[in-house]
Chains A and B, each alone.
Chain A
Amino acid sequence: MASTEAHLPAGLLSPAERELLHQTWSDRPGFWGWVTAVDHKSVAKRYIFTAFLFFILGGLEAAAIRAQLARPENHLLDPDQYNQIFTMHGTTMMFLFGVPVQLAMAIYLVPLMVGTRNISFPRLNALGYWTYLIGGLFLYSGFILNTGPDAGWFSYVPLAGPQFSAGKRVDVWAQTVTFTEIAALIAAVELIVTILKQRAPGMSLNRIPVYVWAVLVTSFVVLFAMPSVALASMMLAMDRLVGSHFFNPAEGGDPLLWQHLYWFFGHPEVYIMFIPAAGFVSDIIPVFARRKMFGHTALVLSLVATGFVSFGLWVHHMFTTGLPQLGQSFFTGASLMIAIPSGVQVFCWIATLWAGRPRFATPLLFVIGFIVLFVCGGITGVMVASVPFDQQAHDTYFIVAHLHYVQVGAFVFPLFAAIYFWFPKMTGRLLSERLGKWNFWLFFIGVNVTFFPQHFLGLMGMTRRVYTYLPETGWGPLNLLSSVGAAMIGVSVLVFIANVFLSLREGVPAGDDPWGAHTLEWATASPPPPFNFAHLPVVGGLYPNWERGADAPVVTGLGNSHREVLATTVMDAVPDAIQTHPGPSVAPLLVALAIGVTFITGVFTPWGFVVGPVLLFPTMLMWLWPRRKPAAERAWCEERV
C-alpha cells in the first residue's frame, strides 16, 4: 500500500527515479506519439485548441449574419446561405465549442486539481477527442460541400423531416450531434470516476474545490441529458433514412415529441456550459480577492441545486405550443426558482470581493464582466420565464439577446478568465496583461453594443432567423449598431489570438505559481510534468496550496516503472487501492475511425450500421487485448506483496 509518510526524505525520489517516472508517463515522441497519446494534458490541450478553432469558425458565421443584417434588404447572402450559416453558427457554438471546451478544460484541470497522475480512463479519453474531431470535420465538410444543415440548431420537425428538408443536410446535422454526444458522455464518465475515486489522500468531499464540484455536477447533467438528444437525433435520422414516422403526424407521429426530447437535453445543455463557468469564477475570485471564498458550502449547494432544477425548465422553450396552462405554470415556477441559486452565487462572489483586497488582473476583469453580463442575462431569463411575457418575446430578438447575454456573458467570459488564469499552468508562460486588458474591454463593450439593442428589436417585432427585413420596419439603426458591436467582438478575439501566439513565444515565464493561487495544480511545475506530481500531495484543507508548509506530507510508494495511480475512497479520500493505468495506444483512434465510418456511411445507406460493427470488432479487440506485465512491473508488485 502507498503510505502517507511525512518528513521522510528517504522515501522521496532521487533524480534518477524522477527521470524513470518521466519516461514511464510520457507520450511517445513524434507523429506516432501524437496519435497514440493518452496523457490527459496532451488530449485536453488539443481538445481546447480544436474547440477554439470551432469558436473562431462559429464567430465568422456570426460575423456573416451581422453583416447581412446590418441594413434592411441586404443582398450579401441569399436565404439559402443565410439559413445554413445561422444553423452552423448555433450548432458550432453549442455542440462543437460550448460543451466540448468545458469538458476539455475539465479534462486538463480536474486530475491536477484533485492531485492525481492521469484521468481515470486515459484511452477512453483519447477516443472521446477523436470522435469529437471526426464529428466536427464531418459537419464542416458538409458545409463546404453546400450540404450544411439549414433547419436551425434545434432542427424542429417537420421542417427538418424527410418531406421538407430533402437531401443530406439535416442528416449531417443529426450525425454530428451523435458524435458530440458520444464525446460528451465519455468525458462525463471519466470525470466522474476521476473526481470520486482518484482524489489525493485527505481531499474529503468537503475539501473538493468548487470548480471540481462544478465539473462533477456538470458530468451528471451530461449523463442524464445527453441520452435524450441521442434518442431524438436517432429517431430523426431513422425518419429520414428508413422511413419511420416518429415525428410524422399523418402517420400517428408527433412533432411536439421532438421538442420535448430536444429541450429535455437542450435546456440542461445551457447549464453544462454555465455550471463549470461558475466553478471557474468561484476558484478565481479568492485568488484575486486575496481572501478565502465566502460561503463555500452555499456555492457548492447552489451548483448542485442548479444541476437538479435545470431538468425542470425545458417546457419554457415551448410556451407558445399550446400546452395546458397548469402544466406551464410548473415550468414558470422552476424557471424562477433557478434564479435563487444563481443569486446566492452572485451574492457570495460580491461579498468575497468586498471583503478581500481585489487585484485587477485580466482574469478578474473577465470575472467582473461576467457578473455584470450574467446578472443582466439572468434578469431577462426571469422575464421570459413568465408565460404571458414569453408569448410576446418568444422567437424574437429579445430571446436572441437573452441567450447571448447568458452564453457569452455567463460562459465565454468565465472561459476567457480561465484561459488567462490557467494559460501559464498549461504553457509555462503568462499571457500579456496589456493585450489582455484590450481583449477584455473590447469584448465587454462589444457584447453590450451587439446584444443590448436586440432586446428592443425583439419588442419592436423583429423575429429571429430572418435573413432580411424591410426598411419600413424601423429596425435598421439598431441592427447597424448591433453589427458594429459584433465587429468590436471580432477585433477583441483577434487581440486574444495575437496575445496567445505572442505570449507562447515571448511571454513572461510563469513559474510554478504566478498568481499565489490556492488549488493543487499550482503545487507542481508549469507546464506540469507528464506524471503531474512527483509525489502526490496529501490534502489537509480547502485551500491546500495556501495551507501547506514546506514539510507537508506527501504520498510515497507508487511505482515509477509503470503507470500506477492511487485510488481513494469516495467520501473521505482514504487510500484504497493502486491501479495500473494503460499506456499510449493507437486503438482509440482506430475505434473512433470505425465509429466515424459507421455514422457517416449511415447518412447515405443503412448498410453503414452493418459495416460499422465489422470494423469495430477488430479495433475493439486490439483495444481490449490483454497485456502481459513487463518484468520490472512484476518484480515491483511481488516485492510490495
Chain B
Amino acid sequence: MTRPPPRPGRAPALLALAALASACAHSDMSAVDPAGPQAGRIAGMTWYLTIVGTVVFIITIGFLLYALWRGNRRVESYAGEGAERHIRRWVIGATAVTTAILLVTLVYDFATGRALARFAEPDALTIRVTGHQWWWQAQYIDPDPSKRFETANEIHVPVGRRVRIEVRAADVIHSFWVPNLHGKVDLIPGYTNTTYFRADRAGIYHGRCAEFCGYQHARMDFLVIADPPARFAGWYRDQLRSSVPPADSVRQVGEQVFMGTRCAMCHAIRGTEAGSRVGPDLTHLASRGTIASATLPNTRGHLAGWVLDPQSQKPGVYMPPNQLKPDELHALLSYLQSLK
C-alpha cells in the first residue's frame, strides 16, 4: 500500500489519557499529527480542549464521588439557612469558574479561526476538486490555459507552497478531508467552497470523503502527495503532456480495446479520441499509485480485477462489469500500464 510508515506521536506524557491519545497520532490519518500550519493550529486547539476538558471532568467527577462518600457518612442531612448559604457559595463559585473557562475557550476559538482565515493569500496554487459518487476529479487551474490539466484521486502539491482548493460537487454532497493538513470542507451542489492548506513535510497524506454520499461513501478516498518543489515541477510537466500513441502491437490492440468497448464512453485519455468526463481521466493512469479512489494499489492484478468486475470491490459503483477475452484484457492492461 501507499501509506507512509507511522510517525512517532508528540503526545505529552502528562496524562494517562494522552497515552491513548498518542495512539491517534500514530494513525495514518491523524488529526493531531499535523503536517502543515492549518492542521497545526487545530491540533493546538485540540490539545487545549482535551487537556482542559479532562481536568474539568476529573474535578467534577471527583466532587461527585466526594459528595457521595461524604453524604454516605452523614447521620443527618445538612440543611437549614446556613447550609443553603454555604452550598450556594460553592455552586456560584463553580458556575463562575465554568463561565470563565468557557470565555477563555471562546477567545481562543476566535483567535484560531482568525489565524486559519489569514492563510488565504493570493499566490496560491489553485486546484479545483470536484466530488463525484465515488471519486475525486482534480483540475489544476492556471491563468495560462496551456498549463491546465486534469487528474483524479491523487493530488500532488509542492511542499511549502500555499494551495488553494476550490471544491464543487457533481452529484450529491461530499466533504473534502485530509486530517494531517486541515479540517474538512463540504462539496455542495450549486456552491463553490474554498479551503487553503500548506504541506510543510514531504509525504503522502490520506484523505477521504467525510459526508455520507451513498453506497461507496466508505471507499471514496484520495491522496495528497506533497513533493519537494523541483519534483513537483517535474510531475506537473509530465501531467501536462498528452498520451503518446503506443508503439508496440500489444498496446495498440489494447488501445483499440479501450476505444472499441465501453471504456471510452466514460473515461478520457488526452491525445486519443476518448474524451468523456463521466469517470476519472486516465491520461496518466500509470503514474498513479492507486486505483478505485485510492482504495486499491495500482498493480496489474488489481487493475485486471477492477476492469472485469468493479462491483466485487466496490458494490454499487457506477462502473459496469466488462466481459473481455483473456488476450483483450492482457492487451488492455498493457496499454493502461503504459499511460505514464
Contacts and interface: CB of A to CB of B under 8 A. Distances in A.
Given A336-B106, A343-B98, A456-B21, A79 B179 contact: no
B78 A355 contact: yes
A458 B29 CA distance: 10
B91 A298 contact: yes
Interface in B194-215: 194, 206, 208-215
B71 A392 contact: no
Contacts of B190: 249-250, 254-255
A372 B64 contact: yes
A164 B169 CA distance: 13
Given A256-B188, A388-B109, 11 more contacts: A78-B315, A151-B212, A294-B88, A295-B91, A320-B185, A347-B95, A351-B91, A388-B41, A390-B183, A395-B175, A461-B29
Contact of B57 (A340, A379, A385, A392): A379
Given A289-B71, A339-B98, A343-B94, A332 B21 contact: no
A250 B70 CA distance: 65
Given A294-B87, A332-B109, A474-B28, A255 B188 contact: yes
B321 to A, nearest CB: 16
8 contacts: A156-B211, A350-B64, A355-B83, A394-B175, A459-B21, A463-B210, A463-B217, A469-B218
B87 A355 contact: yes
Interface stretch (A268-276, A321-329, A510-518, A614-622): A321-329
A80 B217 CA distance: 11
Interface in A183-237: none
Given A383-B53, A392-B183, A456 B71 contact: no
Smallest CB-CB A-B distances: 5 pairs? A391-B183, A461-B29, A249-B190, A354-B67, A466-B218
Contacts of B177: 463
In terms of DSSP, what is the predominant structure of the interface of chain A? helix
Contact of B183 (A291, A388, A456): A388
Interface in A290-347: 290-292, 294-295, 298, 320-322, 325, 328-329, 332-333, 336-337, 339-340, 343-344, 346-347
Nearest to B295: A470
Interface stretch (B112-120, B153-161, B271-279, B302-310): B112-120
Contacts of B213: 159
A80 B315 contact: yes
B204 to A, nearest CB: 12
A368 B218 contact: no
A354 B88 CA distance: 13
Contacts of B50: 383
A250 B41 CA distance: 37
Interface in A417-439: none
Contacts of A325: 113, 117
B30 A461 contact: yes
B20 interface: yes
A113 B172 CA distance: 49
A322 B171 contact: no
Interface in B306-340: 315-316
B105 to A, nearest CB: 6
A390 B83 CA distance: 42
A401 to B, nearest CB: 13
Contacts of A80: 215, 315-316
Contacts of B1: 472
B312 to A, nearest CB: 11
Interface in B242-265: none
A569 interface: no
Interface of B: 1, 3, 6, 20-21, 23-24, 26-32, 39, 41-42, 45-46, 49-50, 53, 56-57, 60-61, 63-64, 66-68, 70-72, 74-79, 83-84, 87-88, 90-91, 94-95, 98-99, 102, 105-106, 109-110, 112-113, 116-117, 133, 171-173, 175, 177, 179, 182-186, 188-191, 193-194, 206, 208-219, 295, 315-316
A333 B99 CA distance: 12
Contacts of A340: 95, 98-99, 102
Contacts of A42: none
A448 interface: no
A347 B94 contact: yes
A66 to B, nearest CB: 16
Contacts of A163: 171
Contact of A395 (B21, B68, B94, B210): B210
B68 A358 contact: yes
A371 interface: yes
A601 interface: no
> On chain A, which size bracket covers the interface?
35 or more
A259 B32 CA distance: 29
A158 B71 contact: no
B42 A388 contact: yes
Contacts of B20: 456
B67 A350 contact: yes
A389 interface: yes
A382 B53 contact: yes
A393 interface: yes
A78 B315 CA distance: 8
A159 B216 CA distance: 13
A159 B173 CA distance: 7
B216 to A, nearest CB: 7
A339 B95 CA distance: 10
Given A255-B173, A461-B28, A386 B49 contact: yes
A255 B172 CA distance: 9
A468 to B, nearest CB: 6
A329 B29 CA distance: 27
A353 interface: yes
Given A386-B49, A465-B217, A395 B184 contact: yes
B179 A461 contact: yes
B74 A357 contact: yes
A467 interface: yes
A541 interface: no
Given A322-B185, A394-B210, A294 B102 contact: no
Contact of A79 (B110, B184, B315): B315
Nearest to A465: B212
A356 interface: yes
Chain A CB within 10 A, most for which of B61, B87, B295: B87
Contacts of A354: 63, 66-67, 70-71, 78, 87
A83 interface: yes
Contact of B71 (A357, A465, A466, A469): A357
A570 interface: no
A368 B60 CA distance: 12
A634 interface: no
Nearest to A82: B218
Contacts of A464: 212
A460 interface: yes
Nearest to B316: A79
Contacts of B21: 456, 459
Nearest to A341: B95
A416 B215 CA distance: 36
A320 B167 CA distance: 12
Nearest to B180: A461
Given A386-B49, A464-B212, A357 B315 contact: no
A320 B91 contact: no
A423 B84 CA distance: 32
Query: In this complex, which of A164, A390, A460 has the most chain B Cβ atoms within 10 angstroms of its Cβ?
Result: A460
A464 B210 CA distance: 7
A388 B64 contact: no
A357 B67 CA distance: 10
A460 B24 contact: yes
A200 to B, nearest CB: 26
B104 to A, nearest CB: 10
A13 interface: no
